[in-house]
Amino acid sequence: MLVRPKEGILDPQGEAVGGSLRRLAFPVTQARVGRLVELELETTDAVAARAQIERMCAELLANPLIESVEIQLEGDV
């Protein structure tokens, strides 16, 4: 699962990374920093897996006010 700061939301970590890279003379016009969360689930059903991950995001893994979540399934699902 990829968790990104939403468009228009301040991303201080991305600003810091972008600034540091430009100071190192890398031609970076924008940098955004998010999280990668990789989970192994017991279910092998894609619909169930997606529903579980959406509940995990709502309860723990992401802040829907400021973050957007992209769910990618792989393996046996």
Instruction: List contacts with its own copies (CB under 8 A).
Output: 2-4, 14, 17-18, 20-21, 24, 26-43, 52, 55-56, 59-61
CB of 65 to its own copies, least distance (A): 19
Q: How far is the CB of 9 from its own copies (least distance, A)?
A: 14
Amino acid of residue 65: L
- Least distance in Å: CB of 16 to its own copies? 10
Q: Which of 60, 57, 31 is nearest to 70 (CA)?
A: 57
Residues near 49 by Cβ (< 8 Å), separated by ≥ 6? 41, 43, 73, 77
Nearer to its own copies, 38 or 74 (CB): 38
Q: Which is nearer to its own copies, 24 or 65 (CB)?
A: 24
Pair 22, 14: CB distance under 8 Å: no
